[in-house]
Amino acid sequence: MEPLFGVVLGLILAVASPATDSCTCATNKWAVCAQDGPGNCTCRLAGSDHPVDCSTLTSKCLLMKAEMIPLKEKRLWRPPHGVMDSDGIYNPDCEDSGVFKARQCNQSSTCWCVNSAGVRRTEKGGRSLNCSELVRTRWIYIELTHKRGSSAFRVSDVAKALTQLLESRYKLPPKYIAAIKYDPPLIQIRLHQNKKPSWDVDIADVAYYFEKDVNNDSVFHSNSKLTVSVNGDALAIEKLWIYYVDEKPPEFCMRQLAAGISAVVTVVLLSAGIGIAVLLILRWLRTRTYKKFECKEMRE
């Protein structure tokens, strides 16, 4: 009876294993998934109880929060290399919908206002800092270069390949791709999204996923390296820059600008002063030489 029981148990485990393995979140490697019923897989964000929709991209705010909490189950995984003050990765406060809260603060009671992409748009202040609204990022400019060893491609082929990439990998409807320009080796992508319907992904999330892919730190569960192919030839991305343009201009105070202007004025004044001093010295030397020459002629 016991051998028969062992065979039955082995068959059950063999059937159950594929189901368990398939219970993963394709669009978020930091999601913790569990099989809670036949054919039903529930995924939640690591370090929180927030459910994750694995059919689309996870919001940037929730991703940044997950990155701050290493997964104990995966010993080889570690967070990004470091925190660059409030302008890089930080532990954000998110709304229940997953969007950033307008005001972000760190553990030292320093606060600042951010846009919908989580990028700081004001000077840092105290807990009394008021951020009345979350200003939306409606334009995102992505600039990238490919390795110069790669051959140049046709502009239309590059635009087609990148449009397909944004649409298939990042679920971005083509209507939000305003323009793609190519001047070898520079590629410029402009994304535009005035308003985001609930069923569409946010261009800020797309930019974040794309940045992680280029830096070989993919958010996707497969963690596969990003490959971009143009007519069968690999487009080897070398460098990446992302610029955010909000509905309203940033509210940085003029202190930094004033300091820069003061430095420029100081340099100009010093240069002018040194120039005048040199001219006076040269004039004095010429006058002195002329007087000596006059005295010599009078003696003769």
Q: Give the other-Cβ count within 10 Å of 49's Cβ.
A: 6
Q: Please, what is the Cα angle at 181 between 175 and 182, to 5 degrees?
A: 140
H/E element, 139? strand 137-146
In a domain, 37, yes or no: no
Q: Would 184 be classed as within a structural domain? A: yes
- Please state, in angstroms and rounded to a whole number, the distance separating the CA atoms of residues 30 and 63: 8
Percent with pLDDT over 70 in the chain: 74
Contact 82/68 with Cβ under 8 angstroms? no
Contacts of 229 (CB under 8 A, 6+ apart): 161, 235
Q: What is the pLDDT of residues 47-96, one digit of tens each?
A: 677 899 999 999 999 998 888 875 444 333 333 322 223 356 788 999 99
d(CA 164, CA 171): 10
Contact 122, 112 (CB under 8 A): yes
In a domain, 88, yes or no: no
What pLDDT sits at residue 242? 92
Structural domain range at position 199:
137-246
Please check the confidence at residue 143 and state whether its pLDDT lies above 90.
yes
Domain tally for the chain? 1
Report the percent of the chain where pLDDT is more than 90: 41
Cα distance between residue 143 and residue 255, in whole Å: 29
Distance CA 147, CA 237 (A): 6
Span 159-182, pLDDT tens digits: 999 999 999 999 999 999 999 999
Residue 198 falls inside a structural domain: yes
Structure confidence at residue 23 as a pLDDT band (50, 70, 90): confident
pLDDT tens track for 89-137: 788 999 999 999 999 998 888 999 999 999 999 999 999 999 999 999 9
Q: Name the nearest CA neighbour of 227 among 238, 214, 239, 217.
A: 214
The whole-angstrom separation of Cα 140 and Cα 159 is 17
- pLDDT tens for 247-267 read 988 887 644 444 445 555 566
More confident site: 11 or 261? 261
- Identify whether 51 is part of a domain: no
Hunting for tokens 């206002």 — which residue is that?
113
- Give the contacts of 74 (CB within 8 A, at least 6 positions apart): none
Residue 206 CB burial class (10 angstroms; 0-12, 13-18, ≥19): buried
In a domain, 81, yes or no: no
Domain harbouring 223, CATH code: 3.30.70
Model-wide pTM > 0.75: no
Evaluate if residue 11 carries a pLDDT over 80.
no
Q: Of 157 and 86, which is predicted with more confidence?
A: 157
In a domain, 127, yes or no: no
| Rounded Cα distance, 34 and 250, in Å | 43
Pairing of strands 40-45, 31-37: antiparallel
Would 218 be classed as within a structural domain? yes
| Entry field: residues in the chain | 300
Res 192: pLDDT: 95
